[in-house]
Structure 1
Amino acid sequence: MDVSLLTEAKSAAQWNGPTFGNKTVVDLVLPEMMHLIDPHWYQFPPMNPLWHGILGFVIGCLGLISWCGNGVVIYIFSCTKSLRTPSNLLVVNLAFSDFLMMVVMCPFMLVNCMNETWVFGPLMCELYAFAGSLFGCTSIWTMVTIAFDRYNVIVKVFPLIGLSGKPLTIKRALLWLALVWIHAAVWTIFPMVGWNRYVPEGNMTACGTDYLTKDWFHKSYILVYSVFCYWLPLATIIYSYWFIVQAVAAHEKQMREQAKKMNVASLRSAEAQNQSAECKLAKVALMTISLWFMAWTPYLIINFAGIFETMTISPLVTIWGSVFAKANAVYNPIVYGISHPKYRAALNEKLPFLVCGSTDSPAPAADNKSQASNGTTTAEEKA
Structure 2
Amino acid sequence: MRGVRPTEAPDDFWIPIPLETNNITALSPYLVPQEHLGSSGLFYSLSAFMFVLFVSGTAINILTIACTVQYKKLRSHLNYILVNLAIANLVVSFFGSSTCFICFAFKYMILGPFGCKVEGFTATIGGMVSLWSLAVIAFERWLVVCKPLGNFAFKPNHAIACCALTWVFALFAAVPPLVGWSRYIPEGMQCSCGPDWYTTGNRFNNETYVMFLFCFCFAVPFSTICFCYSQLLFMLKSAAKAQAESVSTQKAEKEVTRMVVVMVLGFLVCYLPYASFALWVVNNRGQPFDLRLATIPSCVSKASTVYNPVIYILLNKQFRSCMRKMLGMSGGDDEDSSSSQSVTEVSKVSPS
- Shorter-chain TM range is 0.7 to 0.9
| Structure-2 change in CA distance of 1:308 and 1:82 (3 Å) | same
Match of 1:237 among 225, 237, 255: 225
Assess if the C-alpha contact under 8 Å between 1:91 and 1:337 holds in 2. yes
How far apart are the structure 2 equivalents of 1:306 and 1:65? 32
The one-character-per-residue Cα deviations of 1:236-278 (angstroms, maximum 9, x if unpaired) are 101111111111111122223xx5xxxxxx4x6x37xxx6111
Q: Does 1:295 align with 2:270?
A: yes
Q: Does 1:250 align with 2:238?
A: yes
1:130, CA displacement in angstroms?
Answer: 0.7
| Structure-2 change in CA distance of 1:252 and 1:313 (3 Å) | same
The amino acid that maps onto 1:335 is I
Matches within 5 A, 1:12-161: 15-17=19-21, 27=27, 29-30=29-30, 45-156=36-147
Corresponding residue of 1:315:
291
How far apart are the structure 2 equivalents of 1:27 and 1:314? 17
The amino acid that maps onto 2:109 is W
Gaps of 5+ in 2: 1-5, 337-341
Corresponding residue of 2:3:
none
Assess if the C-alpha contact under 8 Å between 1:63 and 1:103 holds in 2. yes
Rg (Cα) greater in structure: 1
Corresponding residue of 1:376:
346
Assess if the C-alpha contact under 8 Å between 1:24 and 1:45 holds in 2. no
How far apart are the structure 2 equivalents of 1:133 and 1:127? 10
Gaps of 5+ in 1: 34-40, 157-161, 260-265, 363-371
The one-character-per-residue Cα deviations of 1:16-41 (angstroms, maximum 9, x if unpaired) are 24xxxx7899626335x9xxxxxxx9
Matches within 5 A, 1:357-368: 358-359=332-333, 361=335
1:14, CA displacement in angstroms?
Answer: 8.4
Match of 1:276 among 222, 227, 251: 251
TM-score of the superposition, structure 2-length normalised?
0.85
The amino acid that maps onto 1:246 is F
How far apart are the structure 2 equivalents of 1:352 and 1:245? 37
1:378, CA displacement in angstroms?
Answer: 7.8
Corresponding residue of 1:208:
194
How far apart are the structure 2 equivalents of 1:45 and 1:235? 40
3-state SS in 2 of match to 1:149: helix
How far apart are the structure 1 equivalents of 2:16 and 2:137? 48
How far apart are the structure 2 equivalents of 1:163 and 1:107? 44
| Structure-2 change in CA distance of 1:151 and 1:4 (3 Å) | closer
Assess if the C-alpha contact under 8 Å between 2:144 and 2:344 holds in 1. no
| Structure-2 change in CA distance of 1:318 and 1:243 (3 Å) | same
The one-character-per-residue Cα deviations of 1:53-76 (angstroms, maximum 9, x if unpaired) are 011011111111111211111111
How far apart are the structure 2 equivalents of 1:88 and 1:297? 26
Identity among equivalent pairs (%): 21
3-state SS in 2 of match to 1:45: helix
The one-character-per-residue Cα deviations of 1:158-194 (angstroms, maximum 9, x if unpaired) are xxxx654622222221111111101111221011111
3-state SS in 1 of match to 2:165: helix
Match of 1:176 among 145, 162, 173: 162
Q: Choose between structure 1 and 2: higher helix proportion.
A: 1
The amino acid that maps onto 2:298 is S
3-state SS in 2 of match to 1:276: helix
TM-score of the superposition, structure 1-length normalised?
0.78
Question: What is the aligned length?
Answer: 332
Corresponding residue of 1:328:
304
How far apart are the structure 1 equivalents of 2:265 and 2:194? 24
The amino acid that maps onto 1:316 is R
1:344, CA displacement in angstroms?
Answer: 2.1
